[in-house]
Structure 1
């Protein structure tokens, strides 16, 4: 069901009079509300995406590493949970320096994960369960073992030399390599330039030394990478998550990046990536990628890793409806504390983004500590995890979950540098412990290896918390984090206001974030107490939002009515209410 401008205007101009420990806030203007609610039938507007790190989801062959058959064996779990699409991080052949993000062949499956037949079966079985498969499109760089780079570094006159970014050193001579071309830094520490003795030039790598950057100023690179998209679209995938998209281009004048105060975890001077990030040409590539996938039926979707500094920069990723449908909102993901004012500000901004694009929300992924730790206070983490589930699954947009999030999996960092797998953890220890902690195996049951594998030793250790936080145990507890997610996912699918409704923030309490989701004839109120104090909310004037009569909860944690118009919110409580039968 779609909103008309007249309906939105009626909602937007009706101020809600409520007592919530602070004066009421005026609702957005009619123009803001009408412009911020895009409509359309595309599947991804109502989908919930679930990120799977394939090494860690399910092992089927006893080698201690997850694989494609393992994912296929768990599709019923995902379907019953309420998942609409799975994004699988790279499963292409790779030397494994960056655990798959250093790709040596874009159009094959790493034998570690199975075969192309296994992949085809996964797509087919997922389709039977109305689950779509989204691939990871690593667009900025390849492995240094990719055949393209092996050719490129074989000689200066090789036809693929210009497929990568090569430069002479400053002051280079026949016997001296000179200084590095400029001061650009790798995101993973130290210089972004690596000397190649054979051809006596430096190549650029925004990430690890073993991940040379593709030269997107070369038309041949465009042609080859478009072919990668075609290959997987023809195999039935539903779209792509585009990795490190803002880093595709470097300044052709090779200007030094400005330095900032202080040093990072690797001991380098802090730097502003002014000439290696978010150059305008990125949007030309996004338009190109969109044009390739749009040739195929089924409304394929593009999701971008777009850690932009503000909503204005994020909105550019939508283009004019001809670039990306779902740029990942790192601003909201990385609030990293429970702050009702901050969440209210950011959700209002994305609701009114200048491109009128669909929001895409997440709170955990394979590159950041899990939300159970980042938002927990050390005492009420489970309760806060449930509150974050309500925030993620009742707001208007496309939510993206990370495997195990629905269990309250926590970050479990290695205790010793000798146990670290992730190279950035080895390089930056102990300030930077790497990303192993958020990539530990999925916790299915209470066995020694958590039902992930029958190998004696999984690729990463099973966290001690798996004995309590696992699918088997939590599915039997109606108040578990798992059942919180399952109920919310079902509610999101069935409730018309949560499925299609506009979203308008109400109130400006420093501790409680509240909003209305509404379609004509149906409205829902969400109240989230983001403090460790009991708070009360007095509802007066909700009829102006189409809510008549006494609110009744359709989902709640730690809440109850003290009287007909007052809601008591216990510390970190979440409430979802409506007047509908």
Structure 2
């Protein structure tokens, strides 16, 4: 299934000449993360070096050269700690070790050394909200009400099943104790289905779990828990990691009164009522923890970073996660509003994109935004944004937005190739527990976690084992690193060129951003400006041709000839006027005005 662009002009030689001609003194040194291109690696799926069908740390090391050539400068590794793998690593049983299936601590150190040699920083996933129920902390906590870790998790006696305020949802989860029938204390539900409370006979109590029952929530109101988790942070910072991506970080605290969540109406894929999680998500206490963590990472050299998994509704809510004007909490909360906004996730919307980009420059003020279009929890952007006809062009638009705005960029393995979501068609093939419990309405996240496609050979070059942990997607014969590196018109080549432009051109690194043609509902246009140089970006987000008239005078740039750097489906040729351009359906233009 060949997916090369039609009419692409990748002017790599022109780009290199332009960069050499316009090299200039860099402004005051920014922290590295302000310009970073962060690449998420799902370790189970990236590279298998021992033939067991499962990716490992040595598989990351083996491909460090590719990552460097691609142009990413930071990798974020999804959890590689020991785990029962109920949630594929997000149920951690030991925070300061490496899972045997992924390798050893010596393998980790070797990977870190290779990353340094290739000028790549390593960010680790840090799961703060919960542990595995097999973690030694929980095993001790669950054993009695009097042990030293009895208060390390969120425990509750429950309420009588025939109590006056017990709802139908609670009664579904009746548990029998020595004191008579009891039910969970409220209607809180797990994000993966069912009640968020699980009974433990040894304690005659329920524990709270925001996610799977095998992921009990830590009690962050206990100072001993805080200290233990901060010690974990220091352990990995001492080994040289550049920072942490904080998983599900808004969920650290719960309402002490255990009030019922308000119902929103309807039911989810697991048959549970839809709730507004105002008592279990984004409580104000979490910001005190963020400030303490920020102080820890700031005490280390090298501009260590905290990245937050933050699905937030607007820029004002995001600003709080930076620490407001003090900027003393997360350096990089993830802005999911472009990549995962439910209203706009299935099509491009120039107005929506323009609104978000405007808010990032105004509401966020001096804070650095972080854009994300793909991750391990959502169908790939190729499928979510694609229309089935112009998918390659749409993929180029998303990459262009990701890498040409002033935001820090985060991508996901395989997005640079055009890997697609391979949703299981049979329940028996599902590995993700949420897909098993929610089938057929919820089919899980296996589809976006398939093995990386390196070659057109067996198992796409991911493994020598024909029984990989998830099947390789059928597109691997043409959609793979080896084939796309050889194709000057491939999506991989497009991404490499964008990343080179982003890292090397002073305009893209330090230039201001000015939105153009701001009433156009079909085309998103903007300009990056530094001194007398500018780079103009224009993206047709519609399925019909568009002629765009761009007024560059606001940047004090008079209409003059432009040199195309990256063009697909555009009338702009070499040395033509950039103020009037015709873009084909989902066409893209990136042009320099020298």
Deviation, 1:46, is 1.0
In the alignment, what sits opposite 1:55? Answer: 44
Q: Please tell me whether residue 262 in structure 1 is matched to residue 284 in structure 2.
A: no
Q: Find 1:136's aligned residue among 99, 111, 125.
A: 125
- 1:39-118 correspondence to structure 2 within 5 Å: 41-118=30-107
5+ long unaligned stretches in structure 2: 1-26, 162-176
Query: 1:495/1:121 Cα in 2 relative to 1: closer, same or farther (>3 Å)?
Result: same
**Conserved? CA contact 1:555–1:575, under 8 Å:** yes
Q: Cα deviation per residue 1:391-412 (whole Å; 9 max; x = unaligned)?
A: 1111111000100000000000
Residue 509 (str. 1) matches residue 498 (str. 2): no
Q: Distance in 1 between matches of 2:499 and 2:380?
A: 20
> Residue deviations 1:258-301, cap 9 Å, x none?
00111111111110001000000110010111111111110001
1:569 has 2:573 as partner: no
Counterpart residue number, 2:335 = 329
TM-fit CA distance, 1:192: 0.6
**Residues in 2 aligned to 1:98 and 1:464: alpha-carbon distance in whole angstroms:** 25
1:127-184 deviation per Cα after TM superposition (whole angstroms, max 9, x unaligned): 0111000000100000000000000001011110100000011027634241111001
Aligned partners of 1:352 and 1:198: how far apart in 2?
Answer: 54
What aligned pairs does 1:68-467 form with structure 2 within 5 A after superposition?
68-171=57-160, 174-319=178-323, 320-334=326-340, 335-336=344-345, 337-354=347-364, 356-467=366-477
Give the unaligned 5+ runs of structure 1.
1-37
Change (3 A) 1:147 1:543: closer
Matched position secondary structure for 2:476:
helix
Separation in 1, partners of 2:527, 2:268: 42
Cα shift at 1:303? 0.4
**Contact (CA 8 Å) 1:547, 1:578: kept in 2 or not?**
no
Q: Is the 8 A contact 1:523 1:547 kept in 2?
A: no
Is 1:75–1:126's contact at 8 Å kept on the other side of the alignment? yes
CA contact (8 A) 1:95 1:102 kept: yes
Q: For the structure 1 residues 106 and 551, does the alpha-carbon distance in structure 2 shift closer, same or farther, using more than 3 Å as the test?
A: same
Contact 1:177 1:200 in 2 (8 A): no
Moved more, 216-225 or 490-499: 490-499
CA distance in 2, matches of 1:448, 1:502: 47
CA contact (8 A) 1:169 1:177 kept: no
How far apart, CA to CA, are the structure 1 residues paired with 2:284 and 2:554? 47
- In 1, the alpha carbon distance for the partners of 2:450 and 2:522 equals 33
* 1:560 and 2:571 aligned: yes
Q: Is the 8 A contact 2:458 2:464 kept in 1?
A: no
- More moved, 245-254 vs 169-178: 169-178
TM-score normalised by L of structure 1? 0.92
Deviation at 1:210, TM superposition (A): 0.1
Counterpart position of 2:487: 477
Give 3-state SS (helix, strand or coil) of 1:523's partner.
strand
The Cα of 1:505 is off from its aligned counterpart by 1.3
What CA distance in whole angstroms lies between the structure 2 residues aligned with 1:547 and 1:471?
A: 42
Aligned to 1:27: none
TM value normalised by structure 2: 0.90
CA 1:316–1:139: 2 relative to 1, 3 Å: same
Match of 1:546 in 2: 557
Q: Within 2, Cα distance between the matches of 1:192 and 1:435?
A: 21
Over residues 196-223 of structure 1, what are the superposed CA-to-partner deviations in whole Å (9 max), with x where a residue is unaligned? 1121100000000000000000000000
Judge conservation of contact 1:316–1:355 (CA < 8 Å) in 2: no
CA distance in structure 1 between the aligned counterparts of 2:365 and 2:560, rounded to whole angstroms: 37
Partners of 1:340 and 1:212 lie apart in 2 by 42
